[in-house]
Amino acid sequence: MRERDLQDKAALEAAVRQVADEYLADPNVTSIGVGYKVVDGEPTDELALQFTVRTKFAPQGLEAAPTRPIPAVITANGIRFTTDVVERRYTPHPIVVDAQPKADRKRRLDPIVPGVSIGNAAISAGTLGCLVREVATGETRLLSNWHVFQGLDGALGDRIVQPAAFDDNRVDQNVCGRLVRSHLGLAGDCAIASLEGRGAEETILELGVPVRRLGDPELGDRVVKSSRTTGVTYGVVTRLHTITKIAYGRDRLEQIGGFEIGPDEDRSAADGEISSGGDSGAAWLALDERGEPTDVMLGLHFAGEADGTAGEHALACYASSVFSKLEIAPLVADTVIVIRTSNVGYDEAFLPGQTIPVPLASKAVEADYAPLQRSDGVVRHATHFSLAMSASRRFCRWVAWNVDGNGLQQLSRSGIEFQRDPEYLAEHQVDDDLYANNRLDRGHIARRADLLWGTREEAQRANEESFLFTNIAPQLDDFNQSVKHGLWGELEDAIYEAVTVEDLRLSVVGGPVFKPDDHRYRGVLVPRSYWKVIGYVEAGTLHAKAYVLTQDDLENKLESLGLEPFNLYQVAISELAGMTELDYGPLTAADTMPASPDASGAGRARVVHGRSDIVV
């Protein structure tokens, strides 16, 4: 191989891919890339196609080893390479095992800065590389790795927390965005997330520069990064066009493209480690001729040498490849970073001048709440709604949501599947197995159309999250297809039409009524009654209305035999509290239902025959 071959980047990458396709299947080979041949532990000035292996065997031991010999010379894509073999293993760097006192890099920061702890709420810890601009939307995004922001069990829309869960397990309070886009493959290990509910500054911690430009590294380039665990460390580019085989867990092996970085002997790390667990996602920047950091990003750190491997090297994806794949660009100077509200969960202060908390449960109901599996507590927060699950019935006890009539959007439900909620154990929710080939329909508790407001991104996320099974209750088809069910779906719209709602904002709580004699279908008790309480402000005063859709005769207090048609009633909120064992707080006192004319309770429910009867 000649120096001029380095100039034809496309041909060189194609040659390396050709060799990688053949040799990375060997379990002993960990990576292949272009670098300077190493002799007696020291790099020479001879270019070579360098193979890293888990174990380097002496020639006489190769015959008995579970690996194939690597020829001294390989020709690929018309380029003739001398080969070199180095013993080296790599591992992704989100795993954290230290228990040192917290530094600023591991604390909650507002504003957030690149170089600090960040990650998916279900992943230990990684590093925020830099702030970038999403080309399609112009939005400011957070850049890190796929295995930091998503991982094997993650999905688009997942919560991103700063600091990462390993550094602070109060994930509900530390949400700073949502996963927007990701990629894992030859183009890199990379992902971007939205920035929500927190300020941000683009200058990288302790480097004093933001990312303004992208560049491709050359052999011998000196670089620097700022990361969660090892802080500021310096290195030298030792291999280019490197394809590395990385194990991401559960037998998932991926080939990741990038380049390799070795230690800078002139600026050695304090403990000799230029990277360690928790550093994944850091930005590698070029140094100028004075050895100072520039605003040119060359790579995105994604792996380092595994423990027990001689020497110290790191791996980075090409920044140019990552930015192209994720369709992002560096921020330009004087960019105004817009802070989006996170809008995670029901907002109790949503109505003008009011505080409407979620329902307070009786001791019996509270004892039946299903716990969250990925964080403490029992209340699950999604986009624009929150809920609590019954462990015994495996459906929600209640869902609370906000409706912003000023920002409602029309989004398609096409292609969105009902899905199990990852925040709860499977044993605490009913999934699609219940609904196959039977009389049960899937009914939303928080109406999908109510949740589609905010930014386009928020609305789309709410659209998808509304299909979580924790927001779904089983309904017999004669309920879901009844005329009264149509009225049930029009309650919020009717209030908007009949009342001057301040700021066009509603706060709503709804759910099923659980009874021990509910209809049992395929081993599941199917509720025959559903309730909804709608709160709003009119002329500065809080008002609330409660409705129940049921087969029971609420006017005459007669329970159904399961054969009666469904009827829609407006009921007194105090009456509903007894049916659900929930306290609705200030909504009870704001009830518009007329007071009972006598002690018997008659008149505390009225039939709603049509849309004109919803608001009286």
Q: Which residues are catalytic?
A: 444
Q: Report the distance separating Cα 534 and Cα 447, nearest Å.
A: 12
How many CA atoms lie within 13 Å of 254's alpha carbon, on the beta-carbon side?
22
Is the preceding omega at residue 92 within 30 degrees of 0, hence cis? no
The three-state secondary structure class of 568 is: strand
DSSP state of 476: E
Q: Token digits for 230? A: 């090892």
- Which residues, other chains included, contact 275 with Cβ-Cβ below 8 Å and sequence gap of 6+? 93, 225, 227, 229, 230, 233, 282, 301, 304, 312, 314
Where are the extended beta strands (E) located within 68-199?
73-76, 79-87, 90-92, 117-120, 126-127, 130-134, 140-144, 159-161, 175-185, 188-194
Q: Kindly tell me the number of DSSP H helices and DSSP E strands found in the chain.
A: 10, 34
The amino acid that residue 570 corresponds to is: Q
SS (H, E, C) 444-475: ECCCHHHHCCCCHHHHHHHHHHCCEHHHEEEE
Q: Token digits for 418? A: 């009902």
What is the dihedral angle through the alpha carbons of 101, 231, 106, 166, rounded to the nearest 10 degrees? -90
Other beta carbons within 10 angstroms of residue 82's beta carbon come to 15
Using CA atoms, how far residue 554 sits from 213, 378, 527, in Å, is 69, 32, 16
Q: Report the distance separating Cα 452 and Cα 334, nearest Å.
A: 32
Q: Report whether 402 belongs to an annotated binding site.
A: no
| H/E segment holding residue 367 | helix 363-367
The three-state secondary structure class of 428 is: helix
Other beta carbons within 10 angstroms of residue 477's beta carbon come to 11
Q: Report the distance separating Cα 90 and Cα 277, nearest Å.
A: 12
Q: Token digits for 297? A: 């990003």
The span from the first CA to the last CA of the chain, in angstroms, equals 86
Q: Report the distance separating Cα 49 and Cα 56, nearest Å.
A: 16
Nearest to 216 by CA among 1, 6, 4, 5: 6
Q: Report the distance separating Cα 83 and Cα 60, nearest Å.
A: 18
Which residues fall in the annotated binding site for Mg(2+)?
480
Which residues fall in the annotated binding site?
480
